[in-house]
A and B are shown apart, each in its own frame.
Chain A
């Protein structure tokens, strides 16, 4: 490297060069290049349909998490607010439309799992 270029180097560039030299001397730069190549290959090989399918799975998990989170919070609040129901109280709870909707969902969910077993 010519003396003229050496003088023109900024302090930051010199620091970067020192760090890179260390990575090269210890052989670790090869790992970083491998990692960059891996990331780049993955971007190259990914297609829009693959992204859509992956994100659909993420969306399903997020939706399930949202529903479960809401339901658990509601149940906790109601349980804390009310006395433990008697047998008659439970039957009364079953008369509620939302309870029956939830129960029906749970039974259908069980059936759906059964279909796959």
Chain B
């Protein structure tokens, strides 16, 4: 009987995994022994990191949106369906329209979403660049501001040792903001304050979630005239007075609050009953090596949904997807997994509008900060506007 692989989620993780699986399992597809289906709640595919450039007027946004179908190999069935229910005993997923998708192997790749409502006042007074709508709103404010203060705040999940989406993004955007305001000729009249919470994944009282980078950031920020402060865990925002209040009891006034808000897994995953993450955050308990959901032998997960101590970013997914595809292919053919994820994350951070810093790390080794360069920035921009789509299609 034909085997069925079901992938839920049409973002970077779902798309790359579907294409990689189709490539690896082409002999089985040719023999009509296997069916791969991807379901997504949108007919469009969004490249999320592009929103960061929209916030500084360096992209319009449409360049980062494509038809999901155009990114999938023709062997993959694609349906626009919103998953609402999962039965790990019955091996099926149900959707909002009432459709039932059976599976032999399931890949949960539904990502994460911003949850600003978890901090009182943040939805009303804060801004963030993690969605295109948010970035567009922020871009308008950055274009209009002539003097005042931009306050940067960062929040981490309550579940220990898990990062927010794209760990380096708050640093990147603070530096991009400095360059952008300098370009506009208003930097001298605008104060930028970068704050970081007391507890940040594995670091306490630092400026970044990994120690080596946390240690070099003060001198980098000093050289740009960016004020920095650790021990500021945003807990409340007075939207009327434009004051950010920390759990440590401090208050900072702002004109613009550029925030990394709380994140959670998607509603479907939070309501699936599979996660035991704190505060109903929904992160899936993931085996750090096989990338299977713990306790479920035929369910894999990757990307932003996992509870692993690695960045929730495309540079992580790119390495995880090969492990998931290899393991499913191996299980189908031999009955056992064959690959192991070592926590590898590879990316290029946009340190300002025209400087890029290559970075890589894994479970055992933190990022070693290196000088950023113009060439690095070109590679990053080239990836954003072109190479990404080839990577999503499983070509790179």
Interface residues, chain A, with chain B CB atoms under 8 Å away: 43-44, 46, 48, 51-52, 54-56, 58-59, 62-63, 65-66, 70-71, 73-74, 77
Interface 0/1 of B59-73, CB less than 8 Å to A: 000000000001001
Which secondary structure dominates where chain B touches chain A?
A: helix
A74 B386 Cβ-Cβ under 8 A? no
Interchain CA distance A77-B115 in the complex, whole Å: 46
**Which single residue of chain B is at the shortest CB-CB distance from A69?**
B73
B374 A43 Cβ-Cβ under 8 A? yes
**Which single residue of chain B is at the shortest CB-CB distance from A53?**
B385
Q: State the Cβ distance, B356 to closest chain A Cβ, in Å.
A: 11
Indicate whether B389 reaches chain A with its CB closer than 8 angstroms.
Answer: yes
B74 A74 Cβ-Cβ under 8 A? yes
- On whether A62 and B395 interact (CB within 8 A), knowing A51-B378, A51-B381, the answer reads yes
Q: State the Cβ distance, A79 to closest chain B Cβ, in Å.
A: 13
B390 A62 Cβ-Cβ under 8 A? yes
Q: State the Cβ distance, B378 to closest chain A Cβ, in Å.
A: 5
Indicate whether B382 reaches chain A with its CB closer than 8 angstroms.
Answer: yes
CB-defined contacts of B73 to chain A, threshold 8 Å: 70
A58 B386 Cβ-Cβ under 8 A? yes
Interchain CA distance A47-B382 in the complex, whole Å: 12
Q: State the Cβ distance, A51 to closest chain B Cβ, in Å.
A: 5
Interchain CA distance A43-B378 in the complex, whole Å: 9
Chain B 150-185 interface residues, beta-carbon cutoff 8 Å to A: none
Which secondary structure dominates where chain A touches chain B?
A: helix
Give 6 closest A-B pairs by Cβ, nearest first.
Answer: A55-B386, A59-B386, A70-B74, A55-B382, A62-B390, A51-B378
Q: State the Cβ distance, A116 to closest chain B Cβ, in Å.
A: 24
Interchain CA distance A6-B385 in the complex, whole Å: 52
B30 A77 Cβ-Cβ under 8 A? yes
CB-defined contacts of A65 to chain B, threshold 8 Å: 395
A52 B390 Cβ-Cβ under 8 A? no
CB-defined contacts of B217 to chain A, threshold 8 Å: none
Indicate whether B393 reaches chain A with its CB closer than 8 angstroms.
Answer: yes
